[in-house]
Amino acid sequence: MNTKEKDLKYIMHTYGRYDVALKRGKGAVAYDEDGKKYIDVSSGIGVNSLGYCDEGWVEAVSKQAGTIQHMSNYFYCDQAGTLAERLCTLTGLAKVCFGNSGAEANECAIKIARKYSFDKYGSGRNEIVTLKNSFHGRTVTTLSATGQDIFHNYFFPFTEGFKYAQADDIDALKSAVSDKTCAVMLELIQGEGGVNILNKDYVQSLVKYCRDNDILIIVDEVQTGVGRTGSLFAFQQYEILPDLVTVAKGLGGGLPIGLCMCSDKLKDVMSPSTHGTTFGANPVVCAAANYVLDRVTADGFLDEVNKKGAYLEEKLSALGGVKSVRRMGLMVGIELESGDAHDIAVRCVENGLLIITAKDLLRMLPPLVITYEEIDEAVKILKETLNK
Ligand SMILES: *Cc1c(COP(=O)(O)O)cnc(C)c1O
């Protein structure tokens, strides 16, 4: 059986796949099993932040794998401690709780928010307001947190205690809040929901309103974090400091990691045995993340992300068939004049461009190290595909 046949026979069909088996890659270029070349502007889904097989990243991972590959969370781990220290120093947050994915990071944030409120106000103050069109993960609780009806199906009963408010509407938020609300959870740019960039004034009023009512602010930076939007975290551009921030996708540069950071006021909410995960804080994964942070925080790196983003936006906006471009850093949504975004993405892939969609938009999350030449090549393939 070939790769596709094995997949169809033995892997549960939870994804509609592109008809390609990727075999290897370097930077923003991937090759399939037949040796065909692709420019990748998806990075997995914003995961391979340094592209495929970055030399320094491979070295950091291999070195750690050859030193100690795992210890349980009953032991101290220097790679994990170093990563946590750096993230706290870089953000002004106080502590980190490790996990392995975005959904898990959000589960952790939800647990911390509810426990903070339980400890302070007793039971019953446990509701969390999230935004319509959000996406927070695929576990039963994070599906519940996701503000889209289409995700609330089949798997009943869902976790209780979530209310949904229209984004960018402060009155809608205030109406969704009650004396049972313990937190508001939001993405500053709704990624899966169509690259919707939230209004800065709205976000700042939301933060002020929550602060006045001791309602915690959970910012889901699973997709927007680690340089994707041109700052280390998107919340920094919104000039806010959330109580809880979740991070995953791009942090490990291709290895699975998720984590939840909390502010000083929450740093002692969780106590032994209130949360845990066998694989969390794995030293190889943390070594990968430490290396990604080295690169993303190096002088000039984020300036380049912003420059490349602006360059890409300019090229895309000039294309026939493109109605508008929504972008922050290298997180890009392309609204089309016409045509089905998914069909166009499939044809782009056939033509050698790995691209994804978000709702009815094309979406680009290129590796942060993509070159200008690779951007030109990507735009050329998209242009040819749109013209046909
Ligand atoms: C991808 C994503 C998640 C879920 O992350 P997983 O690693 O797939 O569990 C949660 N929130 C946002 C904003 C995401 O983009």
Q: Which of 222, 245, 247 to mutate to test the pocket of ligand 1 (most atoms within 8 A of CB)?
A: 222
List pLDDT tens digits, range 48-74. Answer: 999 999 999 999 999 999 999 999 999
Res 388: pLDDT: 86
Report how many domains make up the chain: 2
Residue 172's domain comprises 58-296
Tell me which of 47, 130, 136 to substitute to probe ligand 1's pocket, judged by most ligand atoms within 8 Å of the beta carbon. 136
Q: Ligand 1 centre from 258 Cα, in Å? A: 9
Looking at the CA of residue 249, tell me the nearest atom of ligand 1: 7
Backbone φ, ψ for residue 249 (5° rounding): -10, -75
H-type alpha helices, 33-158: 43-46, 55-65, 78-91, 102-121, 140-145
DSSP secondary structure string for all residues of 325-372: EEEETTEEEEEESSS-HHHHHHHHHHTTEE-EEETTEEEE---TT--H
pTM of the model: 0.98
Clarify whether residues 116 and 46 are in a common domain. no
Q: Which residue among 279, 296, 313 closes a domain? A: 296
Q: Are residues 212 and 321 in the same domain?
A: no
- Amino acid identity at 316: L
Q: Is the same domain home to 222 and 81?
A: yes
* 12 and 124 belong to one structural domain: no
Residues 198 and 110 in one domain: yes
For helices 341-350 and 372-387, the axis angle rounded to 10 degrees is: 120
User: Is 112 in the same domain as 144?
Assistant: yes
CA angle 79, 254, 315 (to 5 degrees): 130
Mean pLDDT for the stretch of residues 33-51: 98
- The residue type of 234 is A
Domain harbouring 286, CATH code: 3.40.640.10
Residues 244, 335 within the same domain: no
66 lies in the same domain as 29 = no
| Whether 96 and 108 share a structural domain | yes
- The verdict on 47 and 174 lying in the same domain is no
Rounded average pLDDT over 330-353: 97
**Atom 11 of ligand 1, residue of closest alpha carbon:** 136
Mean pLDDT of 293-301: 98
Are 110 and 19 members of one domain? no
Provide residues with CB under 6 Å of ligand 1: 101-103, 106, 135-137, 187, 191-192, 220, 222-223, 248-249, 258
The reply to whether 256 and 312 lie within a common domain is no
Mean pLDDT of the chain: 98
**Beta bridge pairs of residue 189:** 197
Q: Which of 296, 330, 345 is the last residue of a domain?
A: 296
Extended beta strands in the chain, E state: 22-26, 29-32, 37-40, 95-99, 127-131, 162-165, 181-186, 189-190, 196-197, 216-220, 244-247, 258-262, 322-328, 331-336, 353-354, 356-358, 361-364
Q: Atom of ligand 1 at shortest distance to CA of 191? A: 15
Which ligand 1 atom sits closest to the C-alpha of 190?
A: 13
